[in-house]
Structure 1
Amino acid sequence: MFERLYHYLNKGDKKGVCTDITDEACKYVPRNFFLQIFSNVFTQLGDTLSNPKTVLTWLMSYVSAPVYLISLIVPLRESGSMVPQVFFVPIIHKRAIRKWLWVIGALLQFLAIGAIGIIALNFKGFTAGWLIVAAVVLFSLSRSMSSLTSKDIIGKTIPKTRRGRMKGYSVSVSGVLVLVAGLFMLYQSEKDTTINFYTNIIFFASATWLVAAFIYSRIKEFPSPVEEKSSNTESILSGFKLLKTDKHFRDFIIARTLLLCTALSAPFYVVLAQEHVGKEAYLLGLFIIAKGVASIVSSPIWGRYADKSSKNIMAVAVLIASVLGIFIFFTISYFEALRSAKWLYPVVLFILGIAHQGVRLGRKTYVIDMATGNERTSYVSVSNTVIGIILLMVGGLSALVSLLSVEGVILLLSVLGLAGAYKSYKLPNVEQI
């Protein structure tokens, strides 16, 4: 069944493409392709239902956690899952079979998100806030290990020219589930929501990682080369030396930094919506629906074309986000009637969602395809650690600028995005068979 569906989704691949993987792994590509899609669908659904920008923020506000603690959860979850990755590299390189590290990370994420629900039911105020922050830290560290390991597993089990579309299909399917979740939340917004409603969402989100861990454990993985001799410090330092010695990798880091505009601009669009339309609860449901539809519509297309040229996908996607941001800046600044239109912001979030999916699928496919073996793990870990640090700095700068003008931040990020489109386009193409 897996083989027939795999060949249908990858039309023209009757004999099977096995570029950049071993002959042993080639025999299990269809099975591993779908197991990773299914596990990704559940983790991405869990991510949406425990999103720090929406659900966790609302939950912490509901339990009267201090505002300064609420402001910590987004940078902790985003950067906390990226910065530590370089320190996990020695652990991964010393293991021949690595899928169990992903499974352990998923189980810890299940416990961390579940703990947030328990905390919200039993604590209030300052205590609840700090306990939730601690749970988010545990989640981020666990996510860091799983994220890094997953890139390595994809590189070992899925051939080049099939990795982008695998990501695209998983995001698209999860988008359908996100759409259902958004519709349910939109329906519930018409009623009085209690703490039980929010904690049930959190408990359901935590369970998705448990299901994903079971599915991922079924992946057929063959041993990787093991690095026993090098010390942890040597391994970490050698990873950072890539920034100096590898121009291709350094250019990718620069491009990826400029691509951050699609991720960083989203909260400011939400702030604009609240300023010019209102803070009605139905907006949360509409934004989640917009995200789900954007994933369903765009991800399979982005994924398929990322397998042909992931750097061009990065360039096109960030260009869409930049043009959108410039349009919104002028709309907010000069067109008073349009900026108060209720339909505008869900449409904007939909377009931004399409662009962000393109950036994510493009850069993930690119970094996996540009390296092989243990070098791939080093590339992913160092790039994520560096980007995590930059994300904290740029996020702090954006927060300062937002005190003056929210639309000004969007314009600034859009200009950086234009530079990112050019830098991405100039990268070498890595999708060669």
Structure 2
Amino acid sequence: MFEKLYRYVNNEQEERVCTDITEDACKHAPKNYFLILISNVLTKLGDTMSNPKTVLTWLMSYVNSPVYLISMIVPIRESGSMIPQIALASYVNTKAIRKWIWIVGAIFQCIAIASIGVIALYFEGATAGWLIIIAVIIFSISRSLSSLSSKDITGKAIPKTRRGRLKGYTTSVAGILVLAVGIYILYTSQEDADITFYSYLIFFAAAMWLIASLVYVQIKEFPGETTSKKEASKGNSILSKFSLLKTDTQFRNFVIARSLLLCSALTAPFYVLLAQKYVGKESYLLGLFIIAKGIASIISSPIWGKLADKSSKNVMAIAVLIASGLGILIFCIITFVETFRDANWLYPIAFFILGIAHEGVRMGRKTYVVDMATGNDRTNYVSVSNTIIGIILIITGGLSALVSLISTEGIILVLSLFGVYGAYRSYRLPNVEG
């Protein structure tokens, strides 16, 4: 069953492609392909139902947590899973089999998210806020373990020219489920949903990581390149890993390009702020934004995935250009066309287009870093780049403070201009797909 379906979704009619993986791994590629797909779909669904920008922020507000604690939740969630990776990479590099690291990370993510549901039910005020912050920190560190190991497992189990499609199908299937969640929340928002409903939503999200870990256990992973504990303590220090930025020109250019691509992610909350400012804070808008994101994933992810298998750096460039062009257009509309800026259809449509662009950016840069290297080099690339991006996210997370100094649409414009330069830097990268 796995064999036939694998050939169908990858349009593989002749001899199986085994590029960049061993013969043993190639034999198990079809089954591993779908096990990775299912587990990733489950964790993506869990992410949606515990999104820090929506559900977690709402929970903290509901239990009367201080505003300063609520403002910390997004940068901690986003950057907290990246910054520890450079310290954890040395440990990961000593393991020939790394799926167990992913599984341990998933189980602790389940525990951390479930604890947030319990906290929301039984605590209030600053106590609840600080406890949720602690839970998010535990979640983020656990996520680092899963993120670090997953890239190498995919690189060992799935051949080149199939990895982008895997990510595309994963995001597309998850998008369908996200769409269902958005419709469900839109429907229930018409009723008086209490804290119990949202806590149970969090519990359901936590269960996704537990189920995903049970699926991941079944992956057939073969031993890969390792570093001895002695070498890890001497030659793989944090400083030595950062030296990759100096010695590896291609990697350095990728990190610069990836930093500039952040505009597709960082502008998203400002579109929501614009909608609240010019349309209102009606609950149906939240449902529409979630639905728009789900549809964008369903439509665009398989296409981006196939294109990424041909040239992931071109996907990065095209996708960020779409996000930047949209941002510049929205700035012009808000500044010069007052009739359109009050239209309630403008912002969900803009969010839909931004969702398409962001999926392309994510698909392109994830495929690029997996295809750029093998073995421990891949793990080091992922850890260093993610740590740097995490630091940048913390710094740029302070952009919200600039809202009082410049307009919201002005921030979108500035980030979009950085994105244009990011498209240029992405296009200049060498191809790594063959």
Normalised by the size of structure 2, how large is the TM-score?
0.98
5 Å matches for 1:299-318? Answer: 299-318=301-320
Q: 2: distance between equivalents of 1:430 and 1:120?
A: 47
The CA distance in 2 between the partners of 1:267 and 1:424, in whole Å, is 24
TM-superposition CA deviations, 1:212-266 (whole Å, max 9, x none): 0000111000011221131436313321110000000000000000000000000
Distance 2:405 2:82 in 1: 27
Distance 1:90 1:427 in 2: 27
Where does residue 33 of structure 2 map in the other structure? 33
Corresponding position of 1:344:
346
Name stretches of at least 5 consecutive residues in structure 2 with no aligned partner.
none
> 1: CA distance between counterparts of 2:232 and 2:239?
10
Cα distance in structure 2, aligned partners of 1:145 and 1:234:
21
Contact 2:241 2:384 in 1 (8 A): yes
Which residue pairs with 1:128 in the alignment?
128
Seen in structure 2, the aligned counterparts of structure 1 residues 218 and 296 have a Cα distance that, compared at 3 Å, is: same
One-letter amino acid matched to 1:128? A
User: Contact 1:398–1:409 at 8 Å: present in 2 too?
Assistant: no
CA distance in 1, matches of 2:431, 2:139: 35
Name the residue aligned to 1:396: 398
CA contact (8 A) 1:402 1:409 kept: no
Deviations 1:310-361 (A, max 9, x none): 0000000000000000000011111111011011111011000000000000
Tell me if structure 1 keeps the 8 A contact 2:19–2:159: yes
The Cα of 1:134 is off from its aligned counterpart by 0.3
Residue 42 (structure 2) aligns with: 42
Counterparts of 2:325 and 2:103, CA distance in 1: 40
Q: 1:53 to 1:232 in 2, by over 3 A?
A: farther
The answer on 1:65 being equivalent to 2:65 is yes
Question: 2:98 and 2:397 mapped to 1: Cα distance?
Answer: 33
| Aligned residue in 2 for 1:109 | 109
Q: Kindly state the Cα deviation for residue 29 of structure 1 after the two structures are TM-superposed.
A: 0.4
Equivalent positions of 1:33-432 (< 5 A) are: 33-228=33-228, 229-232=230-233, 234-235=235-236, 236-397=238-399, 399-401=401-403, 403-432=405-434
What TM-score do the two structures reach when normalised by structure 1?
A: 0.98
**Unpaired stretches in structure 1, ≥5 consecutive residues:** none
Report the number of matched residues: 432
Indicate if the aligned counterparts of 2:94 and 2:232 stay in contact, CA closer than 8 A.
Answer: no
Cα RMSD, aligned residues only: 1.0
Partner SS state of residue 82, structure 1: coil
Q: Given that residues 256 and 420 in structure 1 are in contact (C-alpha distance below 8 angstroms), is that contact kept between their aligned partners in structure 2?
A: yes
Specify the code of the residue in structure 1 equivalent to 2:419: G
* Matches of 1:280 and 1:161, distance apart in 2: 44
Secondary structure of the structure 1 residue equivalent to 2:235: helix
AA aligned opposite 2:240: S
Q: Identity rate of aligned residues, in percent?
A: 66
Counterpart of 1:208, as a letter, is: M
SS in 2 for 1:283: helix
CA contact (8 A) 1:310 1:429 kept: yes
Question: Partners in 1 of 2:391 and 2:149 — Cα distance?
Answer: 20
Amino acid at match of 1:221: E
Amino acid of the structure 1 residue aligned with 2:157:
T
The Cα of 1:126 is off from its aligned counterpart by 0.7
Is the contact made by 2:85 and 2:144 (CA closer than 8 Å) also made in structure 1?
yes
CA–CA distance in structure 2, aligned partners of residues 414 and 135 of structure 1: 33
Distance 1:396 1:347 in 2: 27
CA distance in 2, matches of 1:297, 1:349: 14
CA contact (8 A) 2:78 2:390 kept: yes
